[in-house]
Amino acid sequence: SGPPMQIGKSQGPPPPPLRDPHYHGHHHHHHQSPHSPHHPHNRTPHSPHEYHQISPRYHGYGAYNGFDTRDGHGVGRLDYFQKPQKARLLLAMPTDSDSLSDRQCYVRSEMVEIFAATAKDVAARHSKGAQKLVEGQVGIRCVHCAHLRPRDRAERAVCYPSSISRIYQTVADMQRFHFEQCREIPPDIRKIYKSLKTTRPRGVGSPQTYWVQSAKLLNLIDTDNGIRFAGEAKKEEEKPASP
């Protein structure tokens, strides 16, 4: 393995992903229940430095392709739905740097995640009298304060865009209103975020179009109840109607 990849030093191919400190190779897997908090798929980073030790294959920032590759093996889409709160589902894609600014790439790979609302999320939202929300509706949230109770988070920590075309503006609003206020963003992550360029590659289409296309590649679709994961929406339709 070797030291974590440093931002901005890109001589030669990146090193292979660093192993999770609790991960001891395949022959030890029988010691760990897949539901154990130390199982590699179930861990969330404890320190800001761990974010940069995760699969440094893309830009030196975190992971990509919609799934956080926490232990170097990746987390399958099925795992995400079986254990929705364990796997981190990212907006980042390997093609982001071709169309988006460095700062937007970083936001998509290190600052926000997408998730399907649970019954608990729905209850918390409706108790505040906020917009109507249904279970399974896709939201976007700050990864750094997701562990806090809703009332302890800075404003716009969790947003539910009404359609795929609104994701771009929703994240822009989070950058403007939430990231400035969120006390959970570690200083070194904030420093990198602020230092990154906001100019995007020249000669490419509009960033809004790219955000829409990449959302579709993540299997997100528009429905009458906001954004959903295509597979989950189909399952809902196939459920027999209650008598």
Q: How far is the C-alpha of 138 from the C-alpha of 119, rounded, in Å?
A: 13
- C-alpha 205, offset from chain centre: 24
pLDDT on residue 13 = 52
Q: Say which residue the tokens 């030669």 belong to.
A: 12
Per DSSP, helices labelled H in the chain are: 48-51, 77-82, 96-99, 102-106, 119-127, 167-173, 187-195, 207-217, 230-238
pLDDT on residue 241 = 66
Torsion angle of alpha carbons 179, 184, 189, 190, nearest 10°? Answer: 40
What is the token pair recorded at 120?
Answer: 């608990």
The answer to whether 43 and 20 are in contact (CB under 8 A) is yes
Angle at 166 between CA 172 and CA 181, to 5 degrees: 30
Q: How far is the C-alpha of 86 from the C-alpha of 68, rounded, in Å?
A: 10
Q: Say which residue the tokens 């954004």 belong to.
A: 227
Q: How many CA atoms lie within 13 A of 89 on its CB side?
A: 23
Q: Is 59 helix (H, G, I), strand (E, B) or coil?
A: coil
Q: Say which residue the tokens 């998509």 belong to.
A: 108
The answer to whether 99 and 200 are in contact (CB under 8 A) is yes
Q: How far is the C-alpha of 175 from the C-alpha of 232, rounded, in Å?
A: 29
The answer to whether 48 and 99 are in contact (CB under 8 A) is no
Q: How far is the C-alpha of 116 from the C-alpha of 139, rounded, in Å?
A: 6
pTM (predicted TM-score): 0.66
Each residue's pLDDT tens digit in the chain (243 positions)?
555 444 444 445 554 444 444 444 444 444 444 444 444 444 444 433 333 333 333 344 444 444 444 433 444 444 444 444 456 899 999 999 999 999 999 999 999 999 999 999 998 887 766 678 999 999 999 999 999 999 999 999 999 999 999 999 999 999 999 999 999 999 999 999 999 999 999 878 889 999 999 999 999 999 999 999 998 877 777 877 666
Q: How far is the C-alpha of 195 from the C-alpha of 203, rounded, in Å?
A: 23
pLDDT on residue 195 = 97
Tell me the sheet residues that pair with 67: 89
Measured between its terminal Cα atoms, the distance across the chain in Å is 58
